[in-house]
Structure 1
Amino acid sequence: MNFATFDLNLLRILDALLTEGSTVKAGEKLAMSQSAVSGALSRLRFALNDELFVRRGNRLVATDYAAAMAVELRTHLRSVEAMLSPPRAFQPAKAQGIYRIAGSDFFAEILMPQLARRLRQEAPGLKVQLVDLVPASYVTSLEQYRADLALIPDTEVPDWIEKAPAFHSSFAVIARKGHPAIAAGGIRPGQVLPLDIFCSLGHVLFSPEGNLEAMGDAALARVGRKRDVLMTLPVFSGVARAVSESDLVALVPRQLGENLARGTSLDLFVPPTPIEPTLMIGAWHRKSGRNPLHIWFRSLVMELLRPLNESEAPLPAWS
């Protein structure tokens, strides 16, 4: 037999004949005519070089060769059927494996503690890793760092990536408590930091790529002003540390600023000019779009991030 040219559909018919012992009943089971089943049996006999069935009255009795393959044939057909069937409902409590998220250390502060608690309660067999982003090409993290989900600012993505909005984030100014220039101006935490003071101070900028400008600079340019960026750092934790131990200030996502200001040596202020909130998105490889584990995990991450949203526009659920 030449397996390369063998019609695998004939195996389904052979299994039905072995089960039913009749071309008529096999045809009923497979929604085929009796003549079509008989024709398939002829092709099977030729391909396998065996009579396969001997007629005894109204029944077909399998030859020793056909009977010997019955159990294994049925096992393999059921395996193929199970493989091609829709995935079963995902059961987090029984899940095992590792899920990798690519994102800045913003998410180490804002997402990961909550995620750890939920996984402990609902999916204790799952492990999660927060990995860095590929500088200047965040979506590349999905392949280069084998990430399952990237949490990044909204951007155009190639067709092999799917994305969905996560939350909008505004900005806040952080400065060390008792900052002399701010205190001298009589500005209290939570108030607007005047434009002249904001622009006169040295700034720390979060930038994994080492850029000296960001959204805050575009907002200042619209009102004809500039700030003095004296330092860039690739992690928010470094930005916060540099600000807390110097007279530098920084623009950071508001949610992170509020989190950092609790119980630390930092104060929070309102930026002096409007800055368009950043839309953060989740992005993932299309190959994992229908994977039940990935769907469940993305939905959990979205649930935890949704309260951060600062836009009145409703956000769709991830799938």
Structure 2
Amino acid sequence: MRFKGLDLNLLVALDALMTERNLTAAARSINLSQPAMSAAVARLRTYFRDELFMMAGRELVPTPRAEGLAASVREALLHIQLSVISGQPFDPAQSERRFRVILSDYVTLVFIEKVVERVAREAPGVGFEFMQIAEDFEELLQRGDVDFLIMPEPFMSKHPRAELFDDVFVCVACEGNGRISESFSFDQYMSMGHVVVKFGCSLKPAADDWYLRERGYSRRVEVVVQSFSMIPAMLSGTARIGTMPLRLAQHWAKTTPLRILDLPLPIPTLTEAVQWPMLHNTDPASLWMRQTLLQEAARMAPFKQAFPALARQSVCLESTAA
């Protein structure tokens, strides 16, 4: 079918090429032969009067023109898929939908396993693909390459979102750490060796590190790990301490000799939220999964009810800092 001189099938080919960055893989993904895909590339180049892709070894490198077209093409195809092709009512019990979700190990351990258990009962054909939080998560959302992103709300982009649950940061130490006193002070916290988290290849600091740096404080960092879940193992048999979310600390304390202490820093309460691509806003499958996520999050006790002593301390510390 042509629209103003453009064969709309070529947009499917262009989207596959932008996704795969390889001619053979792109052809396979849309059930075309390699010669047919090569012909599609030639026609795309003729229509847009641009090379669109250059070869770098076996990889296709898009030109600026192709990069500029990518988001609009993907948006148009997603709109057709969700609004025209997938207009059928969504039946979870019969569906074989696979949801791609970006999330942290923290969310996996304290929340998402309950969601997976429920979905296995109510929609046994539905599957999940869980992905680590990557630097390009906003691009993945924009392209509709993922269904959901779960992470702290302040780091999210313009796409629709909803709050899931809250948490608070605490200090953790090995249960046998003899350097911890009953009245754990800020000075003592700063004087001890720390296990800290830095995320991704860019080594983004966690909330505690960011808070201290903003105020000109510097800790003695002895171990750097990639996630909060790695902290407990690095504390065992040492005099080091770490900082992590309370719900996760309680999870590890069930199987690890871990001591949990009030954090002598007024770090704001952590709010985890779920975000989805704007184009999925009315997708029946996305709506069902959103409802499931929110219902399971509602079953978790709110922070101020589950941990009243720490909640009062957090408010007190925030007032002092102000």
Same fold (TM over 0.5): yes
Partner of 1:121: 121
Report the CA distance between 1:139 and its aligned residue: 3.0
> One-letter code of the match for 1:168?
D
> One-letter code of the match for 1:173?
C
Report the CA distance between 1:178 and its aligned residue: 0.9
> One-letter code of the match for 1:238?
M
Report the CA distance between 1:202 and its aligned residue: 1.3
Unaligned runs of 5+ in 1: 6-82, 313-319
Of 250, 261, 281, which aligns to 1:289? Answer: 281
Gap change, CA 1:222 and 1:84, over 3 Å in 2 = closer
1:136-215 → structure 2 map (5 Å cutoff): 137-142=136-141, 146-155=145-154, 158-159=157-158, 161-182=159-180, 185=181, 187=182, 193-209=184-200, 211=203, 213-215=205-207
- Greater gyration radius: 1
Report the CA distance between 1:85 and its aligned residue: 10
> One-letter code of the match for 2:178?
P
> How far, CA to CA, are the matches of 1:4 and 1:200 in structure 2?
69
Partner of 2:111: 111
**Are 1:103 and 1:133, in contact at CA under 8 Å, matched by a contact in 2?**
yes
**Are 1:108 and 1:130, in contact at CA under 8 Å, matched by a contact in 2?**
no
Q: CA RMSD in A?
A: 3.1
> One-letter code of the match for 1:206?
V
Gap change, CA 1:133 and 1:247, over 3 Å in 2 = same
Gap change, CA 1:86 and 1:212, over 3 Å in 2 = closer
Gap change, CA 1:300 and 1:198, over 3 Å in 2 = same
**Are 2:199 and 2:206, in contact at CA under 8 Å, matched by a contact in 1?**
no
Q: Secondary structure at the match of 2:199?
A: coil
Gap change, CA 1:230 and 1:211, over 3 Å in 2 = farther
Q: Secondary structure at the match of 2:160?
A: strand
Q: Secondary structure at the match of 2:239?
A: coil
Unaligned runs of 5+ in 2: 5-82, 306-322
> How far, CA to CA, are the matches of 2:3 and 2:184 in structure 1?
75
1:1-319 → structure 2 map (5 Å cutoff): 87=87, 89-135=89-135, 137-142=136-141, 146-155=145-154, 158-159=157-158, 161-182=159-180, 185=181, 187=182, 193-209=184-200, 211=203, 213-217=205-209, 219-220=211-212, 225-306=217-298, 307=300, 309-310=302-303
Report the CA distance between 1:221 and its aligned residue: 6.3
> One-letter code of the match for 2:260?
L
Q: Secondary structure at the match of 1:239?
A: helix
> How far, CA to CA, are the matches of 1:4 and 1:242 in structure 2?
61
Report the CA distance between 1:291 and its aligned residue: 0.9
* Number of residue equivalences: 224
Report the CA distance between 1:89 and its aligned residue: 4.4
**Are 2:177 and 2:237, in contact at CA under 8 Å, matched by a contact in 1?**
no
User: TM-score, normalising length from structure 2?
Assistant: 0.61
Q: Secondary structure at the match of 2:172?
A: strand
